[in-house]
Amino acid sequence: MSLTAQGLSWQDVAATAQKHRDDTIAKVKPAVSNPPGELPWNVTGIPSQLLPKDVLHITESPPESLLSQLSTGALTSTAVTTAFLQRAGLASKLVNCITELLPARALARAKALDDYYATRKKPVGPLHGLPISVKEHISMKDLDLNAGFISWVGQKGTSDALILRLLWSAGAVFYARTTEPQTLMHLETSSNIFGVTVNPYNTTLTSGGSSGGEGALVGLRGSCLGIGTDIGGSIRSPAANQGVFGLRPSSYRLPLDGFAATMIGEEHVVPVVGPLSTSLEGIKVFMKVLIDQKPWLHDPMLVPLPWKATGDLLRRDAGGKRKLRIGVLRDDGMVRPHPPILRGIDSVVSKLSSHPDIEIIDFPPYDHDRAWRIISSLYFADGAAEEKEAIDASGEPWRPLSKFIIKENPNMKSLSVTEVWRLTGERDAYRAAYTKHWNSIGTSLPGPEQKGELDVAAPLAKEDDMVDVILCPVGPGCAPPLNCARYWNYTSQWNLLDYPAVVFPTGLYCGAEDKVDKTYKPMNEKDEYNHELCEYHIVVYVVYDYLGRDRTDGNPTDKPETYTDAPISLQLVGRRYEDEKLIEALEMIMAAAKL
């Protein structure tokens, strides 16, 4: 039963949840260090000041390295789990990314795995002993399941989500649950339960969202592999904001069975679950381990596409060399990205353009504004009735970005079934048009604007002529200041189209070289908002700090000159269900650009 239903005020519910979190962190042994009282804007250097060397070594290893050592017995799961519990506890004190740690059950599991290894001299499965962090709304039996709503706090998971059972059977250890925003529908992470999760590179900026707890935790190396969810950018925004890897897989590849959220049964825009990791290998191993277990035998929503080994998915030339054709979409035609983003694209493209096996092609946007109109009309087709009820049931305040996407969203209204069908039809027509657009880039075939010209004998596009992947921004800037992530369409575009999209770091960070273009004339209101954000000249509505304290008044001056230290990340987008080819393309890009 929820705590609100037991008579607690929303403030008391929040206090109870925060105390529970603190209690679980306090149970970690050795005790989690307390950060110094006066913190720099960039807190990514703090762990190395406070944690022992072995903990640093373990937590800064990529998952493939840990898995290799766990599978040979060079590391025990107990050592690895203890290290990540330590660092996750510290991360939470720095950026407020944890809803609870699970030291007792995680260490019991780790010990069982270590015992198994000691007896059998082999790992239990391909994830033997690896700690994995989990976004809160993914059900764990007997643990809280609140999806960011005060009124849901106290509801317990009745069983473990299928994805956790599959990871478990491969050998994973679950040790940390991470924060998410009210409604799960922000590109930030701000709730009345736990306050705001901030960006470790620059704590005046957001960690992103809605998987922002994961983003911040992985960014601080309190996790090397975590689970997020994405219906508009919720895996990719946190991955980008912290400069880690994140994959939004195509829909119906990984099981959503056992997740708490509003709008269950809504299928016009399908949410997906996917990984965030400190390495691209971590992304791959996560996908492979799950799909190799044939999850479609247990979840009938899933498509039985086996996970293809990467290495031979791109086209080859006559000599057998891999060939990659990259479409570059610098700007969606609606909101121009900030200078550091364009610098990031230019930097990667310049490194690739001389590569003999990579072809760079301009990929113009196709009516992305229409995509936003469709998706933002479909998100809350019931007029957000469920979100309103879940928020208002406790009397908790509406967080600024809940207001933004629901109450201030001009496309949000309560629709009739007929209107939903019409919009779904528009979605499908847009998908068809975008397919035609993609197939027409770099060829002489007609694009989507030519209607009704097809007859039965007209040629269809040839696969060998097609662009393989699109390189584009993840958002219209790096991690924005708190409460300012108001332009979703660099990510939600690919949700509407259901294209897989992976985020990767460029190795670049915002700095003094990123000058505002003072001569720029914004194209529209959204572009203007984003342009002003460039100089941090934004209207900040209400700001909470990471402990949930209102610091609105102090905000307009309480900021650094620039987005200093914010990681510059990019997005690579593939065709629907070409998740593996997308990853192979990114491997080739990273090797070619020496990322």
From 145-153, 224-232, 259-267, 341-349, give the range in contact with a copy of itself by CB under 8 A. Answer: 259-267
Q: Which of 160, 180, 468, 527 is the binder for a copy of itself (CB under 8 A)?
A: 160
Nearest-5° Cα angle at 210, 300 to 287: 45
Q: Rule CB under 8 A: is residue 497 a binding residue for a copy of itself?
A: yes
C-alpha span between 381 and 514 (Å, rounded)? 40
Site string for a copy of itself, 551-580 (x = CB under 8 A): ------------------------xxxx--
Structure tokens at 125: 């499965």
DSSP string, 45-83: THHHHHS-HHHHHHHTS-HHHHHHHHHHTSS-HHHHHHH
For residues 581 and 313, is the Cβ–Cβ distance under 8 A? Answer: yes
Phi–psi pair at 556, nearest 5 degrees: -55, -30
Cβ-count burial 455-482 (b if 16+ within 10 Å, e if not): eeeeeebeeeebbbbbbbbbbbbbbbbb
The reply to whether 303 sits near a copy of itself by the rule CB under 8 A is yes
Say which of 92, 191, 210, 440 is annotated catalytic: 210
Which secondary-structure segment (H or E) carries 168? helix 162-169
Stretch that binds a copy of itself, among 176-184, 188-196, 210-218, 415-423 (CB under 8 A): 415-423
| Of the candidate residues 5, 385, 547, 591, the single one contacting a copy of itself (CB under 8 A) | 385
**What are residue 481's DSSP bridge partners?**
205
Only segment of 40-48, 56-64, 164-172, 503-511 that touches a copy of itself (CB under 8 A) = 164-172
Going by C-alpha positions, the residue among 310, 385, 209 that lies closest to residue 574 is 310
Q: Do 501 and 491 touch, CB atoms closer than 8 A?
A: yes
How many other C-beta atoms are found inside a 10 Å radius of the C-beta of residue 414?
11
Window contacting a copy of itself (CB under 8 A); options: 29-37, 202-210, 408-416, 478-486: 408-416
Instruction: Reply yes or no on whether 77 is catalytic.
Output: no
Smaller CB separation from a copy of itself, 47 or 258: 258
Could you tell me which stretch among 114-122, 157-165, 359-367, 543-551 binds a copy of itself (CB under 8 A)? 157-165
Cα–Cα distance, 36 to 48 (Å, whole number): 13
CB of 109 to a copy of itself, least distance (A): 9
420 forms part of the interface with a copy of itself (CB under 8 A) = yes
Q: Is 347 a catalytic residue?
A: no
**Residue 74 makes contact with a copy of itself by CB under 8 A:** no
Please tell me whether residue 367 binds a copy of itself under the rule CB under 8 A. no
Binding test (CB under 8 A) with a copy of itself, winner from 177, 268, 336, 486: 268
496 binds a copy of itself (CB under 8 A): no
Task: Calculate ∠ Cα 169-233-258, nearest 5°.
Answer: 35
Q: What is the DSSP string of 460-514?
A: PPPGGGS--EEEE-SSSSSSPBTT-----HHHHHHHHHT--EEEEEEEEE--TT-
By CB under 8 A, residue 468 contacts a copy of itself: no
User: Any contact of residue 305 with a copy of itself (CB under 8 A)?
Assistant: yes
Active site residues: 135, 210, 234
Instruction: Give the interface with a copy of itself as residue ranges (CB under 8 A).
Output: 140-141, 158-160, 164-166, 168-169, 174, 257, 263-268, 294, 296-301, 303-305, 381-382, 385-386, 414-418, 420-428, 431-432, 434-435, 439, 451-458, 460-461, 463, 466, 497-498, 575-578
What residues are designated binding site for substrate? 184, 210, 231-234
